[in-house]
Amino acid sequence: MADLHTVNKSPFDKNSLEQAIRFSTAGSAILLIEDGVYGATKGTVAEDMVKGAMGDKKVFALKSDLMARAIKEDRVIDGVEIVDYAGFVDLVEANDKVQAWL
Amino acid sequence: MPIEVNGKSLETDEEGYLANINEWEPGVAEVMAKEDELDLTDEHWDIINFLREYYEEYQIAPAVRVLTKAVGKKLGKDKGNSKYLYGLFPYGPGKQACRYAGLPKPTGCV
Amino acid sequence: MSDIKKFMYLNRRAPYGTIYAWESLEVVLIGAAFDQEVSLMFTDDGVYQLIKGSDTSESDMKNFMPTYRTLGDYGCRHMYVDKASLEARGLTQDDLIEVAWEDFETEEEVDNIVEVVDAEQVATLLAESEVVFSF
């Protein structure tokens, strides 16, 4: 049983990412989209939280949203996997359901 | 109403601005100028090309004030005034020249 | 003119997730016609509005981030960025766009009006403004 958790808010503005990490089971996938991708960047106050989550969950970030927000790949936290729209669809298919954290 | 340019039909909005800036080609300006009964000279093209470069760089159509100042800086002080620009584009350098250049209507223009 | 007021636009939101950043930018562009003394302040996620290198080619969105670079031409004299907000996001001034300003009459030029300021300066600048617009 694994779910895909999507987060579309900046971790510095809303606690959506924190809640997604807290309330998701081991083996879940967390996909950062829209302003959620700011949580995928290195050197921020949210970095440790994201790294902590990667212990038993996988974290993904949507490429087009990273690009629009000028976050280059080398600024993305190591271990966060960058996916395109096709990868998004694959994640939806691979998980039982999608849970959105708005 | 769409306009016909080199055998292609290009969509415009209700004020005659090109719906899709990427569909622009020099023929667009020619067709629009013909409808306004205006002959396009090199001086007109200087402004149209300037607007296209400005849009490419900043992703907006400049306000007339900004256009006037920027033209003065780029093309010379004798051209950076509203008298010169209105002489070329009687319907207003912001609106008319931007329309010919395929740009949206300048922000703040009514 | 004695009725020139000191306007401050306070930007606290990221550029694309909500409409705030674009709305603020439009108001600044339109408001430029009124010849006020205009400054912009970027704090919190608002600092993301000034990051260079945005590419919306794979998103169905208009890239309005290049537009900030023309604000000097629209009479905007200062663009302040809160230092602590940058640091919390792992960013420095090197990540930010540069915005030139020039007085076309006097030919006075400033290469870059984007300035990183500390919390005390943010407070002072906001306090010294006659009107603060929040976005």
pTM (2 d.p.): 0.90
The structural domains of chain B, with segments of one domain joined by +, span: 3-100
For residue B97 the two structure tokens come to: 């020249």
Burial A65-83 (b: 16+ CB within 10 A, else e): bbbbbbbeeebbbeebebb
Residues of B in contact with C64 (CB under 8 A): 59-60
- The candidate with the shortest Cα–Cα distance to A49, out of A81, A13, A20, A82, is A20
Does pLDDT of B109 surpass 80?
no
Q: Which of C61, C88, C91 sits opposite A68 (nearest CB)?
A: C61
Task: Name the one residue in this structure whose structure tokens are 């969509």.
Answer: B11
Strand partners for C11: C42
Q: Which of C33, C67, C102 sits opposite B58 (nearest CB)?
A: C67
Query: Please, what are the domains in chain A?
Result: 4-82 (3.40.1260.10)
Residues of C in contact with B68 (CB under 8 A): none
Q: Does B touch A (3+ CB pairs < 8 Å)?
A: no
Strand partners for C10: C41, C134
| Residue A87 identity | G
CB-based contact B60 C67, cutoff 8 Å: yes
User: In angstroms, rounded to a whole number, what is the distance separating the alpha carbons of residues C122 and B79?
Assistant: 41
**Catalytic site includes residue B109:** yes
- % of chain B surpassing 90 pLDDT: 74
**Could you report the per-residue pLDDT of B42-86, keeping only the tens digit for each?**
999 999 999 999 999 999 999 888 899 889 988 998 999 989 999
In CATH, the architecture of C6-134 is 3-Layer(aba) Sandwich (3.40)
CB-based contact C90 A43, cutoff 8 Å: yes
- % of chain B surpassing 70 pLDDT: 97
Does pLDDT of B108 surpass 70?
no
CB-based contact C70 B107, cutoff 8 Å: no
**Could you report the per-residue pLDDT of C65-121, keeping only the tens digit for each?**
999 999 999 989 999 999 999 999 999 999 999 999 988 778 889 999 999 999 999
What does the pLDDT read at residue B27? 96
> Å from C50 to nearest chain B CA?
13
What mean pLDDT comes out for the span A5-28?
A: 97
> Å from A3 to nearest chain C CA?
24
Specify the DSSP element, H or E, that contains C102. Answer: strand C101-102
Does pLDDT of C2 surpass 70?
no
Do A82 and A76 form a contact (C-beta atoms < 8 A)? yes
In CATH, the architecture of B3-100 is Orthogonal Bundle (1.10)
Quick check: A102 contacting C, CB < 8 Å?
no
Strand partners for A61: A32, A82
For residue C47, give every residue at least 6 positions away whose Cβ sits within 8 Å of its Cβ, in sequence order, or none. Answer: C81, C82, C85, C86, C89, C91, C96
Report the chain A residue with the minimal C-alpha distance to residue C54.
A70
**Could you report the per-residue pLDDT of C26-70, keeping only the tens digit for each?**
999 988 878 889 999 999 999 999 999 999 999 988 899 999 999
What does the pLDDT read at residue B110? 47
B77 versus A65: the higher-pLDDT residue is A65
CB-based contact B59 C30, cutoff 8 Å: no
CB-based contact C74 B63, cutoff 8 Å: yes
Which subunits have 3 or more CB–CB pairs within 8 Å of chain C? A, B
